[in-house]
Amino acid sequence: MTFLPVLPAGVLALFIGIIVVVRVANLYRLLTRTAPGRYRYVVLRWSGLTFAALLLALAAFCPGLPGDGDQRPATAESAEYVSDINLFLVVDRSVTSRIPDYGDGEPRMAGIRDDIAALLEEYRGARVGLIGFATEASVNWPLSQDEWSFQAYLKSLSAYALTPYDAFSFIDPTAAAGVLSQQLEVAKANYPKAKNLVFYFGDGAAGTEVEPRPFDVPTDLFAGGAVLGYGTVAGGPIPHSFANGRKNYLGDPATGAIVRSGLDEPRLRSIAEAMDVPYFRREARQSITPVLPAVNSSFMSDTTEPTGSDPLIGRTELYWVFALIAAGLLLVEAILTVREYRRNRMSRTDFTARDALR
């Protein structure tokens, strides 16, 4: 069994240690308040919830069984099947990705989904990780070679659903820089022979309450990539919600006027310049080929054998097993909690009724 932690192993180990300390303290408090004869019930419930938390922490280590490796030779002319590439996707999931000014009245996110799908076709076999951002950034899909699951996840990729009315004011197009740097460091440690590619998808829109910052990512952590822009300069109003069959748009909290947002190409070009990668404005039905950095012998690691095998190709992911067991334990705890709440409520009702009869 091998492990591909989504965070540094030390951070996850510290998290597990905190879980153990907190849960042990909780057990001591429970036992001091438990009547004799109920110790076993209390300990069993405590064990189930503690075990669920530890299983989720273990799932974050991404355990799996290594495959036999891919035996296809890598060629200098094609990126059809690459096992030594980590594909990092940085996706703007702010409210502006809902604006329907891409292609034939489609939201910008539709173009982002199409281009990501095209990239996956070009880099079949690559490990893929996705970082989403709006006001802040987070890892939405840890680096993994589970291409089948990611394809299903990609179909539902959209702007974040929970958006306050002042969401536009705090959009930060450079919010992902820190998270991306951390993920690139982890990938470099876990896959020293692999090359990292970074693709940034967005419109460059920045909120009025956000201080402009450089997209500071060490360029020695990745070998190439691109910044891709979506939408029109004129832009449009920002869809916020649907009510009574009508679309509502985001308004300015101060004036109530409908907020419009357009493609900010100068900002996207500055992000591309900071990353030392090219910028491309994307239109509907464009080929993804011009965006691709070349995958050839100079791109490969000096220590990578072109005709060798990657033991991570065909790797069987097991994180979902631990997550599924944890979900089952949490479901049992939820059922017991609801049943206990109803029993206590009925007891209080009976007690109140007896008092009334007196």
pLDDT score at 75: 39
**Predicted TM-score of the model (pTM):** 0.65
pLDDT score at 80: 44
Three-point CA angle 344, 33, 27, nearest 5°? 105
31, 37, 42, 44 alpha-carbon torsion, rounded to 10°:
130
Q: How far apart are CA 271 and CA 278, in angstroms?
A: 10
Report phi then psi at 54, rounded to 5.
Answer: -70, -35
> What is the Cβ-side half-sphere exposure of residue 120, based on CA atoms within 13 angstroms?
23
Q: How far apart are CA 119 and CA 250, in angstroms?
A: 32
pLDDT score at 83: 60
The secondary structure of residue 34, as a DSSP letter, is S
> What is the Cβ-side half-sphere exposure of residue 38, based on CA atoms within 13 angstroms?
9
A 10 A CB-CB count for 266 gives: 9
pLDDT score at 164: 78
Crossing angle of helices 319-357/39-59, nearest 10°? 150
243 token code pair: 């009510």
Which uninterrupted H or E stretch holds 23? Answer: helix 9-32
Sign of CA dihedral 45, 48, 51, 53: negative
285, 264, 106, 200 alpha-carbon torsion, rounded to 10°:
60
Residues of the chain with pLDDT under 50: 68-81, 295-313
Q: How far apart are CA 280 and CA 293, in angstroms?
A: 13
The total number of residues shown for the chain amounts to: 358
pLDDT score at 215: 94
pLDDT score at 79: 42
